[in-house]
Amino acid sequence: MKKSINTVYLILFCLTANSYRIIERNAYFLFLIIPLFIFINLFAGTMHPPIKNRRVRVCSHGALLLSVFEISVLISIIYHIVILFSADLSTVLWSILFCAVAHLILFWNGIICIYITASQLGLKYRILGIVCGMIPIINIIVLRKLIKIAREEAEFEFAREERNSLRYEEKLCDTRYPILLVHGVFFRDFKYFNYWGRIPEELELCGADIYYGNHQSAASVADSARELTSRIKEITAETGCEKVNIIAHSKGGLDCRYAVSILDAAPMVASLTTINTPHRGCLFADYLLDVIPEKTKNKVAAAYNSALKKLGDPNPDFLAAVGNLTASFCTELDAKLGVPENIFCQSVGSVQNKARGGKFPLNFTYHLVKYFDGANDGLVSVDSFEWGENHQLLKPTGKRGISHGDMIDLNRENIGGFDVREFYVGLVNDLKKRGL
């Protein structure tokens, strides 16, 4: 957002909020002050730049209002100290009241706007803003942080919108075969909470045809592979597309490898891209299954299976899913499956640089995986993800790194040095260039 535009709104609001003495002399100025005040509260920052996305537009609006509030409060304090020596006390007090009400309206308008629309605030900063709101000095520091987060999100999304408006017609992701997105373990393809975050929408805007695996959240590799094979047959039969391009995350990559190497899915698969898949398993999974008492494991499994049946899984199997992620199982499976012929196969991995770089439980598991397996994404080690003809390890320049969840935009977080949506656009565009 241009600083000159911010300055204009700041000047207009300062004049409005501190106009009591003018109104006191001539009430007709209200016919100018009130429309100007309403205009600022409703439209400030929504037209420069012209953002199409309504959520981003409101976020930008809220950040601007709070920026204006922050500076205007200081200017207004100085103004009232000055007029204290030139106006009677009654006028000064009424002017302070008038100014305070104007600033309160502006503040709550701005804070509500960013709380509703700024996804990057997350739960952490929303709670922090509420808790620290009444603590002097600290509330100013927190407010500045909230403004910074909201403003950066608006600027980031505007830059994306501007770039995409120039290239949507190019249909960068309009591949020959549709894209099948396959989730990992302990998740489902819910309608209202997409496992893949903002990625599918971005791919569709760039011309991609997206489908989902719709398989159970937890099952053995073999059982999941059977479900996915049926799903692939269903998609090809309904669309007449002959084949699909699979992008599979985490355990989903193992399930798909089994489907194309052991079952009869291979003729219907043009490419298989695995994202942070533990092709050689996780040593820490072996350790956990060894040290946790059998009774505890069964109790956790029973609770999980019962809960997921209520959410739609016909026959979830928690222990089978976990057991199929161990290094002992996956190393043997990897050798058995190999790399199928006539299917373009590639893998992607990432590195989480420190524990707090990932959300729970990745901030907890990071240390365990690091102890047993070395550098990792919070679950999968660097040594375990490589598979196929091509493989790339993502290492952003920032301190936090890219976690297992970041790779599917699970938390809808904008990460410095890594635009997850743009990464997938590039990934699918490469499949298009390969004629897939």
Own/partner pairs, 230-238, CB within 8 angstroms, 24+ separation: 231/180, 232/180, 232/259, 232/265, 232/268, 232/269, 233/265, 233/268, 235/178, 235/180, 235/211, 236/268
Q: Which residues make Cβ contacts (< 8 Å) with residue 415, sequence separation at least 6?
A: 396, 398, 400, 402, 406
Instruction: Take residue 220 and report the two structure tokens written for it.
Output: 């053995």
The answer to whether 343 touches 269, Cβ cutoff 8 Å, is: yes
The pairing of beta strand 269-275 with beta strand 344-350: parallel
pLDDT at 43: 86
Nearest to 13 by CA among 117, 104, 141, 148: 104
The pairing of beta strand 179-182 with beta strand 244-249: parallel
The answer to whether 147 touches 62, Cβ cutoff 8 Å, is: no
Rounded to whole angstroms, the Cα distance separating 353 from 273 reads 24
Rounded to whole angstroms, the Cα distance separating 430 from 416 reads 23
pLDDT at 404: 92
Specify the CATH number for 169-433; select among 3.40.50.1820, 3.40.50.720, 2.60.120.1140, 3.90.700.10.
Answer: 3.40.50.1820
148-185 residue pLDDT tens? 999 999 888 888 888 887 787 888 999 999 999 999 99
Cα 375 vs. chain centroid, distance in angstroms?
A: 23
pLDDT at 48: 60
**Alpha helices for 262-348 (secondary structure H):** 283-291, 294-310, 318-323, 327-337
Q: What letters, b where the CB count within 10 A reaches 16 and e where it falls short, cover 325-363?
A: bbbebbeebbeebeebeebbbbbbbbbbbeeebbbeebb
pLDDT at 289: 84
pLDDT at 347: 95
Nearest to 274 by CA among 256, 292, 293: 256
pLDDT at 244: 96
Q: Domain ranges in the chain?
A: 3-165, 169-433
Rounded to whole angstroms, the Cα distance separating 173 from 185 reads 27
The answer to whether 177 touches 236, Cβ cutoff 8 Å, is: no
pLDDT at 2: 56
The answer to whether 109 touches 46, Cβ cutoff 8 Å, is: no
387-402 residue pLDDT tens? 998 999 998 777 788 9
Average pLDDT for consecutive 10-residue bins of the chain (436 residues)? 71 91 88 91 75 85 93 93 88 93 95 93 89 87 93 88 81 94 89 88 92 92 94 93 95 95 94 95 84 86 88 87 90 91 93 78 81 87 90 82 91 87 95 94
The answer to whether 18 touches 95, Cβ cutoff 8 Å, is: yes
pLDDT at 395: 81
The answer to whether 394 touches 291, Cβ cutoff 8 Å, is: no
pLDDT at 50: 66
Rounded to whole angstroms, the Cα distance separating 403 from 383 reads 15
pLDDT at 162: 81
pLDDT at 230: 94
Rounded to whole angstroms, the Cα distance separating 131 from 125 reads 10
The DSSP 8-state label assigned to residue 245 in this structure reads E
Cis previous bond, 50, omega within 30:
no
Instruction: Take residue 20 and report the two structure tokens written for it.
Output: 């009591």
Q: Which residues make Cβ contacts (< 8 Å) with residue 198, sequence separation at least 6?
A: 409, 412, 420, 421
Instruction: Take residue 356 and report the two structure tokens written for it.
Output: 């707090």
